[in-house]
Structure 1
Amino acid sequence: MARILVADDDVDIRELVEFKLSTLGHDVVAVADGASAVDEVQRQRPDLAVLDVMMPGMSGLDAVRVIRNDPSLSDLPVILLTARAQESDVETGFDSGADDYITKPFSPRELASRVQALLTRAR
């Protein structure tokens, strides 16, 4: 299936996302912060990235901006997964370059559907 990077500083959320996507056959690489996410996508480009917005150090929004500014990664599908649900937060997420925006709490089934939809579109 696909190689997916998951970045979330909350270990429970990170493990839940990793478990759900792994059970669907995806190869999941999980990291705890935005800087590690950027390092990982530059080291070995995944097929998709799922990033938390609020992480220590580099936020998910900053990570998306770095990814979008890298010509070799600019078309990488990115989903932001966050507790920030205000309309302005969603707008900021899309303005930063995200392809999708999912608010916490979230349904693992919905996450899986959105991941699959983005992977299908990217192919």
Structure 2
Amino acid sequence: MKTVLVVDDEMDIAEAVKSILEDEGYRVVTCANGREAIDCLKDARPDLAIIDVMMPVMNGFETIQAIRGMEEFASLPVLIMSAIDPSVRPPDYDWAGFLKKPFSLERLLEQVQKLAPLAA
């Protein structure tokens, strides 16, 4: 079973994404901010992280930077979700996909299945 880490301070969004992905067969771990996400990485061992950009405590860019600094998670695929334009990407921040909020169920599933495909 593939594990997806969902990081968003808007718990309604995090819980909705969790429910959708669990219905598809993923194991989902949610965190309310980047610091929580970093703390739970070793236990969760995600195959994909979906991270909001605008969060308190540690924003999405800072979270990606911290993840990339951890050797065992340096190549973890990250899917960014935000209402901001992805062209504002700071240099040296690597992510595999972008979901513009609000996003459709189809777009979410398309991105997740591309980055963390479930075995057929």
Same fold by TM-score, threshold 0.5 exceeded? yes
CA RMSD of aligned residues (A): 1.5
Cα drift, residue 5 of structure 1: 0.5
Name the counterpart of 1:24.
24
Cα drift, residue 78 of structure 1: 0.6
Structure 1 unmatched ranges of 5 or more: none
Name the counterpart of 1:78.
78
1:28-54 deviations in Å (ceiling 9; x for gaps): 001111100111113332111101001
Partner Cα distance (2:38, 2:105) in 1: 24
What letter is aligned with 1:64?
A: I
1:16-55 alignment runs, 5 A limit: 16-55=16-55
The count of residues paired between Structure 1 and Structure 2 equals 117
Identical amino acids, percent of aligned pairs: 38
Contact 2:7 2:51 in 1 (8 A): yes
Name the counterpart of 1:61.
61
Partner Cα distance (1:35, 1:98) in 2: 18
1:5 to 1:52, Cα distance in 2 relative to 1, 3 A: same
Please state whether the residue corresponding to 2:51 is helix, strand or coil: strand
1:17-36 deviations in Å (ceiling 9; x for gaps): 11111110100001111100
Name the counterpart of 1:88.
87
Name the counterpart of 2:5.
5
